[in-house]
Structures are given as structure tokens and as C-alpha cells.
Structure 1
Amino acid sequence: MEQSGTSALLQGAVQDLASGVVSALRGGGHPRVVLPADTGGAAGELALAAVRVLGADAMLPSVLLRIPPDPAGAAVFRKAVEAHPPRADAAPSVRWSHWGMARTLRRIDPSSPAGPPDEPGTGALDEADWQSLTRQLAVLAPLALPGEDCAVSRAAVRRPVDVARGFVRAVRRRDWRQAAGAGRWLTLLPGVPDTLGLVSGLDFVELMGGQDPLVALHVQAARLMRTGAPV
């Protein structure tokens, strides 16, 4: 029961953090103040864990809106990156998430002494069928950023039609998080079929799943990346 309670608390903290990011991206809040300034005690550890779960997207307003992060928030993000490096046997998605956070830390703070580690491998992506590819890319959606190159983005660029098929499948299955993550990648990919109707598709995903802040986050990120301008 204690583990279940802790999991529920973490899920709530992630949802709250994602909601703050969405509000900042939409211009409804103060984009420089998203992360908590106090990371002491049990509440602070929970906040750091939530940052780790959300990954690089915790700093998404600073990246997409092109504004300096709040210094206190940047310090929290740095602590989340540096205090919990992935273990050697961590899953590829965990190692990629850490890599993306380290890359974002260097982007928002060029004076940071440590750059991102070496890129993890992408063997699982390279060999995946289109369904598995879409699932994995959706999990790695925080890596989908304009002008940012990595092995994951190159794997996605090679298979736009497969990602488009995965997007349609996720919508039909009402898997709104997967659809939103895949749609975020599709916004950046060349060669996406015009018949997909990505813009209206993302509108539909937001309508159906937008009460989930993680869905809203990816949809709003896709819109900002498509327009190339802050809201």
C-alpha cells in the first residue's frame, strides 16, 4: 500500500509539473517559473523525481519560447540531472531521457561543466516494426525538438510513413498520449503524407485527451514547433 501511495503521489506531481509547462507554453502563466525552488525534504525529493519523469520537457518553455529559465528552476533541473545518473543496466529509454536532459541543461546553461554523455544506442528503434517504433518514439517525445540532431531523431526521419501509421493506430485505439507524442515527432519529420491531416489530427487528439496534461504538453509543443513562433 505504501508503494502504491508513493506511486500515486509521483503521478500527481508529474501531472502538476506538466500542467505548469502547458500553462507556460500557452502563455497563461509565468514561463520562467515552472519548477519548484525548494527541493528539501520528502516533498523536494518528490519534485525532483517528477522532473526526472518529465525529462527535458521540464525546461520546454525556456527552449521553445526562447527565454532564459528562472535561475532557481534551472538549479532544480541541474540537480535532477546530476544527482540521479542512470545505472549501467538502465533501459534505453531511461538512458535516452537522461541524455536529453543533459543536452537541455547545456542548452539553457552553456557554462555547465558537464555536457551530455555519449548517445545510447538505437538498435531497438532501427529493428522495430512500425507499431513498436511509434510506441518508443512517443516515450522519447521530449527529444523531438527543432534543430536538434541525435540518433533517435535520425531514426524517426528515416521512417515518416511508419510513424504516421503509428499515429493513426494510436488515435483509433484512443491512446492519446502515444498519439500526441507521435504527432509531435511528425511535426518535425519530412515526408509525412499530406493525406494524414496532421493538424486536424492533433486538434482531435487534444479534444479527446487534452484533460491529461501530458497529452496537452505534446500537442502544444507540436503547435509551437510548427509555427516556429512563441504564442
Structure 2
Amino acid sequence: MKQSGTSPLLQGAVQDLASGVVSALRSGDHARAAAVPAAADGEAGGLALAAVRVLGADALLPSTLLHTPPLPDELAVFRKAVETYPPGAGAGPTVVWSHWAMRRTLRRLDPGHADGPDEEPDTAWLEGTTWQLLTHQLAVLAALAVPGEDCGVARAAGQRPVDVARGFVRAVRRRDWRQAAGAGRWLTLLEGVPPTLGLENGLDFVELMGGQDPLVELQVRAARLTRTGAFV
């Protein structure tokens, strides 16, 4: 599950940002391990903003899961990324939903600067889709897989736990560690997951095989925090 259409420089910036998020999730010390770096001026600043937009709401995941207020610089960069990269005309549903998730994160963490309606995008594109495509799309939108998040995508996932479990197994067999980690993160939230899946062992295996990729590690770490209730 690669980030299609992104340059090597941007891919590297996204991985660096994901590494910062993982560090913050591990330590629980937001002041010591800020996830979102302050954006510089010029090309470097643009790259930082683009990286935040690619990672989406997960750029502030430590604040969401650990209930630690984001640093002012983090929040400012995140807000600027939301404002700078709105979905274009004809944007795909995952892009629209990713942007919506970022705006909702801003509403929760910075309500004084929230603006515009909070109306959800539609989920018709998920209705009746194959379990393979469903898993792929959910993995792309894994930033929506957070405790207490009630939205159309989460409800669609909740209606098909067995299909998501099948998708998780398929991703592991195909060695698509990013998709497997994203699906595993969703599965930690869903009721009705077959106990025979062995999700805990599956997450261990995904981390072992793909954990050197910070985008995989981020999803596995989020799944574990959700599973153990460490976010409470």
C-alpha cells in the first residue's frame, strides 16, 4: 500500500513524520517527542505541510489517544495543512474523508478555530463493495479508526467485521504490511471479529515483518493502545 503519486522527497517526509508520531506514542511525553515539527519557510515548509496532509489526522494521533494537548506549533502546522490542501474538484472519496477527519480532529483539539459545517461525506461508495476493496479502503482511512469515533466509515466497517478479518489475513499473506496494519487497527475496534483470527498474534507478526516501516509501526502501535485501553 504505497503512497501513489508522491515524490521520493515527500515519501521520506511522511515517514519522518510517522516516526515522530510513533516516538510520541511510545513515550507518552508529548513535550519531549512532538509529532508534528514546526514548518520552515519555502520548499521545506511546503514539504512539511504536504507530509502532514498525507498522514492526515494521524499526525495528531498522540493527542487523540493519549489525551495530551497538542503543542501550539503542532496545531498551527496541522491547521495550515488543512487549509492549504482542501480536496479538489472530483477528489476521490478517501481524499474527501481524510480531509474531513482532519477537520474533525481540529474541532476536537482546537474548537476555538473550528469553522464550517461538520457534515459527513457520503459512504455510498462503500456499500456492496467486495471485501478486498473494503479492506483496502479502510486501511487507507485507518486514521478514522480511533476509539469513540462515530462516522459513516466506522459504521460501514462495523457492519462487516468478518470481511475486514478476511482482508487482514489476505494482506498478511500478500505481505502487504501497511494494509495489514491498517486493517488490524480497525479490527481492534470492531465487534464480531472471529476469535479464531488470533488478532494479537497477527499484529505481532505484522510488526515483526513490517515494523521497520514507521507507517506500519504507527498503525500497530495505535492498534495496541486501543486494544489495551491505554488511551483512557
Shorter-chain TM range is over 0.9
Amino acid at match of 1:56: A
Indicate how the Cα distance of structure 1 residues 115 and 226 shifts in structure 2: closer, same or farther if over 3 A, else same. Answer: farther
Q: 1:45-86 deviations in whole A, cap 9, x for unaligned?
A: 000000000000000001101100001110100111112211
| 8 Å CA contact 1:106, 1:115 repeated in 2 | no
Matches within 5 A, 1:34-183: 34-114=35-115, 117-183=118-184
Give the whole-Å Cα distance in 2 for the aligned partners of 1:102 and 1:66.
Answer: 18
RMSD: 1.6
Conserved 8 A contact 1:21-1:60: yes
Q: TM-score w.r.t. structure 2 length?
A: 0.93
Uncovered stretches (5+) of structure 1, i.e. residues with no partner: 1-5
Tell me if the contact between 1:39 and 1:48 (Cα under 8 Å) persists in the aligned partners: no
Deviation at 1:88, TM superposition (A): 2.6
Query: Who is 2:22 aligned against?
Result: 22
Offset, 1:119: 1.5
Q: Is the 8 A contact 1:106 1:116 kept in 2?
A: no
| Percent identity between the two aligned chains | 73
Question: Alignment length, in residue pairs?
Answer: 226
Supply the AA of the counterpart residue of 1:14.
Answer: V
Cα separation, 2, equivalents of 1:117 and 1:230: 25
Aligned to 2:3: none
Deviation string 1:159-217 (CA, Å, 9 cap, x unpaired) is 00000000000001100000000000000000001000001100100000000100000
The TM-score with structure 1 as length reference comes to 0.94
Distance in 1 of aligned mates of 2:164 and 2:196: 14
Which residue does the alignment assign to 1:12? 12
* Contact 2:14–2:54, Cα closer than 8 Å, also in 1: yes
Runs of 4+ residues over 2 Å off in structure 1:
28-32, 115-118
